[in-house]
Amino acid sequence: MKETWVYSFAEGDGKNKKLLGGKGANLCELTQTGIRVPPGFVITTKACLAFLNNPERKIPQGMMEQVSKHLKKIEGLTNKSFGGEKKPLLLSVRSGSAMSMPGMMDTILNLGLNPDTLKGLIADTGNERFCYDAYRRFIQLFGKVALGIPDELFDEEFEKIKSKAHAHLDVDLSRDDLAEICTVFLQVVERYTGKPFPHDPFEQLEIAIKAVFSSWMGKRAVDYRREFKITSEMANGTAVNIVAMVFGNMSNNSATGVGFTRDPGTGENVIFGEYLVNAQGEDVVAGIRTPKPLAAMADEMPGLFKELMELRNNLESHFKEVQDFEFTIEEGILYCLQTRNGKMNATAMVRTSVEMKKEGLIDTKQALLRIKPEMLEQLLFPRLDPDADATPVAKGLPASPGGASGIAVFDADRAEKLGHEGVKVILVREETKPEDIHGFFAAQGILTSRGGKTSHAAVVARGMGKPCVAGAEGITVDVRLRQAVIGDTLISEGDTITIDGSTGGVYLGELPLIEAEFTPELEKLLSWADEKARLKVMANADTPGDAKRALKFGAMGIGLCRTERMFNEPSRLPIVIEMIIADTKEDRQKALDKLLPIQREDFKNIFIEMAPRPVTIRLLDPPIHEFLPQEQQLIEELELLRNLRKNLRGMRKLSEAVTFMYQNEPEKPIVQLSADPELLDAVILKKDMILSKVRSLHEINPMLGHRGVRLGLTFPEIYAMQIRAILEAAAECKKSGVTVHPEIMIPQVCTAQELKRVKEWVIQIHAEVEDRFGLSIQCAFGSMLEVVRACMRAENLAEEAEFFSFGTNDLTQATFSFSREDAENKFLPMYNMSHILQDNPFEVLDVKGVGKLMELAVRWGRQTRPDIKVGICGEHGGHPASIEFCHKIGLTYVSCSGPRVPIARLAAAHAAINQP
């Protein structure tokens, strides 16, 4: 059977994006839907792969014949002739792969022009200036894309003639200027390639197709695929779309524009976009001329605007998704050149989801699935505090919402370098091009002095959810000097600036940012998510304030309440230190007796805040030396105090001592102590005790040290105090009518015996508290699974534990034998960069290793206790891919930081919809 390499838009399968690419499939679909598209055809991605896999990079057998056949059809439809001296057919040649990769692939316009067809075009259009303009554009684009000639060579010549002609804008150039440019450009090509420019349109076409094919393996495309993790499963090779040219720059009754069917910044259901009269599409996208908003068309071209609105409605009803489309008006006829799903920020995605569902365009599942959970992160991103009352030094277009501060950096390479070093940068450019993409990844935000809301910078920044101010024309960017000038103000590389992508403001220095509020649409969307999800979403929260915030984010309870943060509060730390340095059980008990009412109050307030949702409290986990000062600090303090004491000897009067101190330590006065040698002695004694405790508690590997339940079993009175505080708090709540569901969770467990011991204490204190308060308290008892052995012994642990919670931070460290702090500083970046590990396992759950262990632990645990509640409370609990995995292995809940709760809720819904 003969392979079909080419499909016309009228016959191609609009669903087969893998074969035809997104753009090609869309054009087929559009054509077949009855939307006016210039006639054309698409060469398949299979042809591209056949070409790339051919060692000599030859076009596959028979393909060019099929191309010729389809060209004939276009000639028929347009009544034009390819290479004809009369009514010449011109073509656009565009790439298009299965995944949208904006600006990544190369495009050639006006293909088919040569001195002969130029004459035909002049004859045909009667517009010589337009024709030479089209020709010079073609020569440059073809030269650059297909022949690899640097743009600068053309630009230099262009600028020379422009300045000779005293032209300020391109449109100021005359027919003769443009004709001269064509001549010079043809010379540039011949000089660079050593061969004359190919005039044969068929030769041009073949060269162009090969260039598009090859661009699939170009550096930019490969980088983009790697960065966005686009596998060959998702997209393999690019199709080539060959379309009859239509011209938006043929006259003032011609125009070109790009549009979104809804506002991609806010999601509002109004058409959004820009157009330029008498211009070609690239003029809009490249931001060289500043275009008008589409709304202006209603006045300027009212009939065509009506047609445009019809197009918009047709597109949405057909694709059931916000569309990002291009159109051209050639002499009053509106063509849709391409369409694709619109890239929007999270606000817009959420709003359009909710509204399109309400309009009946999509159903709940679709409304949920079209939003990537990670996207919601944007909504939880900070924005500029409106009360900051700062005056912008410049204003641009609000191209991608949100606020960002960072140092100004003027090229993408430096932005990337500094960004990787952890420096916050704002990428400042005159305009951006696809080759700047790596700078976007590293920047906090983007600022350009040219281009509109659909310029490259704006589109890419919105896609990434990064703030962008575009077209801030008051700014003059000088890349060479690494500076930007705004009136009298000079911004040099390294100066901190702030941009507000929601208003277009540019500010000097760093401005305060505030958190975003939940929109009603987001609330609605997440309520749908909760209906679909099977996983519950809990929050990690350590204080009543955390709990309150978590509730606002929709947490269904607290999955992890760390008690150590309570210990660390400045007012309590001295008591904790007292407890630690105690030499006897009695002294330790004294300190614990002081801590008990404090902890009880903490728990009570959290319980009240969360009532009646469950609150899982983890007993003390970190090694106790973490509560003590650093050894070096103590040594220095002691030296200072001892010197002071030495000099104090003999001094009698307060004033004398204080004077001495200020003389000797002007910056570190220890006023109270100085007056009283006895008090000073006592302080020295105490600090000495703390120092020797710090030394005796020193551990070689604190991550694997004396912590968690090991500590709890060594000093039973600490855990006993915490258990008592929890149960008494619960009892007091219950007494005052508040329903509470406390859960006690034991950290660092490695054997069921540990649980058994602590459980005995819980049972005993539980009975005692119930007895004293004369009421019954529900309190679950469970175990962290953060030690590998705990996972291996899950079936035994489940005999004691009523619930499990995977602590995937520690579990990942133990499974990899990576100390997180050391790894991320030392070798992990290299591991990721060289693809030894695809991800940072502390950010993305390592499904193959840690996940496999978790899956086994769940299975083993449920062998003993089939209904055991199992959750996760590591950072991974808020990571969508990890949540999907948690759903898959049958966890009951995930717990994550408050601001990630919405992301987790949506991810949980996705997981449930995708794996019912």
Q: Known binding site for Mg(2+): residues?
A: 786, 810
Closer CB to a copy of itself, 33 or 819, in the complex: 819
Task: Please report, for residues 51, 750, 855, 880, 891, the alpha-carbon distance to residue 805 in angstroms, rounded to integers and kept in the order given.
Answer: 53, 13, 13, 18, 9
Per the annotation, the verdict on 886 as an active-site residue is no
- Beta-carbon contacts of 798 under 8 Å, excluding residues fewer than 6 positions away, are 804, 860, 861, 862, 863, 864, 865, 868
Q: Contact, 846 vs 882, CB < 8 A?
A: no
Q: What are phi and psi of 841, to 5 degrees?
A: -65, -10
| Separation CA 283–CA 132 (nearest Å) | 16
Picking from 762, 740, 718, 524, the residue whose alpha carbon sits closest to that of residue 623 is 718
| Other Cβ atoms closer than 10 A to 842 | 21
Q: Which residues pair with 95 in a beta bridge?
A: 240
Task: Please report, for residues 127, 130, 133, 170, 294, the alpha-carbon distance to residue 176 in angstroms, rounded to integers and kept in the order given.
Answer: 12, 11, 10, 13, 33
User: What is the nearest approach in angstroms of a copy of itself to the Cβ of residue 464?
Assistant: 28
Q: Which residues pair with 40 in a beta bridge?
A: 243
Closer CB to a copy of itself, 200 or 699, in the complex: 699
Peptide bond into 612 cis (omega under 30): yes
Closer CB to a copy of itself, 616 or 748, in the complex: 748
Q: Contact, 277 vs 347, CB < 8 A?
A: no
User: What is the nearest approach in angstroms of a copy of itself to the Cβ of residue 578?
Assistant: 21
Q: Contact, 512 vs 388, CB < 8 A?
A: yes
Length reported for the chain:
916
Q: How many CA atoms lie within 13 A of 91 on its CB side?
A: 30
Q: Contact, 498 vs 509, CB < 8 A?
A: yes
The C-alpha R_g of the chain, in whole angstroms, comes to 34
User: What is the nearest approach in angstroms of a copy of itself to the Cβ of residue 456?
Assistant: 35
Closer CB to a copy of itself, 653 or 848, in the complex: 848
Catalytic site residue from 70, 438, 456, 910:
456
Task: Please report, for residues 708, 715, 822, the alpha-carbon distance to residue 705 in angstroms, rounded to integers and kept in the order given.
Answer: 9, 15, 16
Closer CB to a copy of itself, 179 or 750, in the complex: 750
Catalytic site residue from 779, 873, 886, 896:
873
The string of DSSP codes covering 240-264 is EEEEE---TTSSTT-EEEEEESS-T
User: What is the nearest approach in angstroms of a copy of itself to the Cβ of residue 708?
Assistant: 8
| Separation CA 766–CA 764 (nearest Å) | 5
Per the annotation, the verdict on 318 as an active-site residue is no
| Separation CA 477–CA 460 (nearest Å) | 20
Q: Which residues pair with 404 in a beta bridge?
A: 499
Closer CB to a copy of itself, 293 or 705, in the complex: 705
Segment (H or E) for 737: none
| Other Cβ atoms closer than 10 A to 872 | 33
User: What is the nearest approach in angstroms of a copy of itself to the Cβ of residue 330?
Assistant: 54
CA 72, chain centre distance (Å): 47
User: What is the nearest approach in angstroms of a copy of itself to the Cβ of residue 707?
Assistant: 9
| Separation CA 781–CA 755 (nearest Å) | 9
Closer CB to a copy of itself, 84 or 629, in the complex: 629
Closer CB to a copy of itself, 450 or 793, in the complex: 793
Burial class (CB in 10 A: 0-12, 13-18, 19+), 710: middle
SS3 of 328-347: the string is EEECCEEEEEEEEECCCCHH
User: What is the nearest approach in angstroms of a copy of itself to the Cβ of residue 816?
Assistant: 5
Picking from 349, 390, 397, 348, the residue whose alpha carbon sits closest to that of residue 502 is 397
Task: Record the tokens describing residue 860, joined without a space.
Answer: 């083993």
Closer CB to a copy of itself, 690 or 749, in the complex: 749
In the three-class reduction of DSSP (H, G, I as helix; E, B as strand; rest coil), residue 180 is classed as helix
User: What is the nearest approach in angstroms of a copy of itself to the Cβ of residue 306?
Assistant: 59
Closer CB to a copy of itself, 79 or 632, in the complex: 632
Picking from 326, 323, 327, the residue whose alpha carbon sits closest to that of residue 361 is 323
Closer CB to a copy of itself, 508 or 785, in the complex: 785
User: What is the nearest approach in angstroms of a copy of itself to the Cβ of residue 843?
Assistant: 16
User: What is the nearest approach in angstroms of a copy of itself to the Cβ of residue 801?
Assistant: 16
- Chain positions contacting a copy of itself, by CB under 8 A: 699-706, 710-711, 713-714, 748, 750-751, 753-754, 757, 786-789, 792-793, 810, 813-819, 821-823, 826-827, 830-831, 834-837, 846, 848-850, 852-853
**Count of helix runs (H) and strand runs (E) in the chain:** 37, 33
In the three-class reduction of DSSP (H, G, I as helix; E, B as strand; rest coil), residue 497 is classed as strand
| Separation CA 198–CA 580 (nearest Å) | 85
In the three-class reduction of DSSP (H, G, I as helix; E, B as strand; rest coil), residue 163 is classed as helix
| Other Cβ atoms closer than 10 A to 888 | 14
Taking the CA atoms of residue 416, residue 417, residue 420 and residue 422 in that order, the dihedral angle to the nearest 10 degrees is -110
Residues annotated in the binding site, as ranges? 786, 810
Closer CB to a copy of itself, 727 or 814, in the complex: 814
User: What is the nearest approach in angstroms of a copy of itself to the Cβ of residue 542?
Assistant: 22
Dihedral over Cα of 367, 368, 369, 370: its sign:
positive
Q: Contact, 616 vs 607, CB < 8 A?
A: no
User: What is the nearest approach in angstroms of a copy of itself to the Cβ of residue 869?
Assistant: 23
Annotated catalytic sites, by residue? Answer: 456, 873
